[in-house]
Structure 1
Amino acid sequence: MLAAPQLPERSSREILSDYPTWALRAEQSTFVYFELFVDPKGNVQRCDIVASAGNERLAKQVCTMHRRTKMRPAVDANGEPTYGKRRDEIKLVLPDTELGEEVSNLKANAQYQLAVKSLPPEDGSRKQISLAMQIGRDGLVEACAEKNGDRSAYSEAACTFFQDDRFAIETGKEGTPVSYVSEVSVEFAVEQPSG
Structure 2
Amino acid sequence: MSMIIIAALAAASSALTSPDISKIMSFGDYPQWALRKNESAAAKIEFFVDRDGKPRGCTVVAHIGSQQLAQEICGLVSKRTYPPAKLADGTQTLGFVRTIVSFYIPGAAGANDVARARMPADLEFNVKTSLLKAESAERYLTLQVAPDGTVQDCVPKRAYKESRVGDEWAKFCENRSLLLQPVRLDRVGQPATYVTDIKIAIIPEG
TM bin, normalised by shorter chain, reads 0.7 to 0.9
Q: How many residue pairs get matched?
A: 187
Equivalent residue number for residue 175 of structure 1: 189
Asked if 1:150 corresponds to 2:173, the answer is no
1:118 aligned to 110, 129, 132, which one? 129
Equivalent residue number for residue 18 of structure 2: 4
Secondary structure class of the residue paired with 1:139: coil
Counterparts in 2 of 1:48 and 1:16: CA distance versus 1, 3 Å: same
Residue segments in structure 2 that go unaligned for 5+ positions in a row: 1-14, 159-163
RMSD: 2.1
Equivalent residue number for residue 139 of structure 1: 149
1:42, distance to aligned residue in structure 2 (A): 0.6
Q: Distance in 1 between matches of 2:64 and 2:28?
A: 21
Q: TM-score, normalised by structure 1?
A: 0.85
2:137 aligned to 127, 148, 166, which one? 127
Residue segments in structure 1 that go unaligned for 5+ positions in a row: none
Provide the identity percentage.
25
1:94, distance to aligned residue in structure 2 (A): 1.2
2:52 aligned to 37, 41, 46, which one? 41
Aligned AA for 1:99?
A: G
Q: Distance in 2 between matches of 1:143 and 1:186?
A: 16
2:116 aligned to 105, 109, 112, which one? 105
Counterparts in 2 of 1:8 and 1:165: CA distance versus 1, 3 Å: closer
1:87, distance to aligned residue in structure 2 (A): 1.9
String of CA shifts for 1:89-128, please: whole Å, max 9, x gaps.
2220012212223322332322221222435453x22121
8 Å contact 1:137–1:170 — kept in the other structure?
yes
Q: Distance in 1 between matches of 2:182 and 2:125?
A: 20
8 Å contact 2:131–2:168 — kept in the other structure?
no
8 Å contact 1:141–1:164 — kept in the other structure?
no
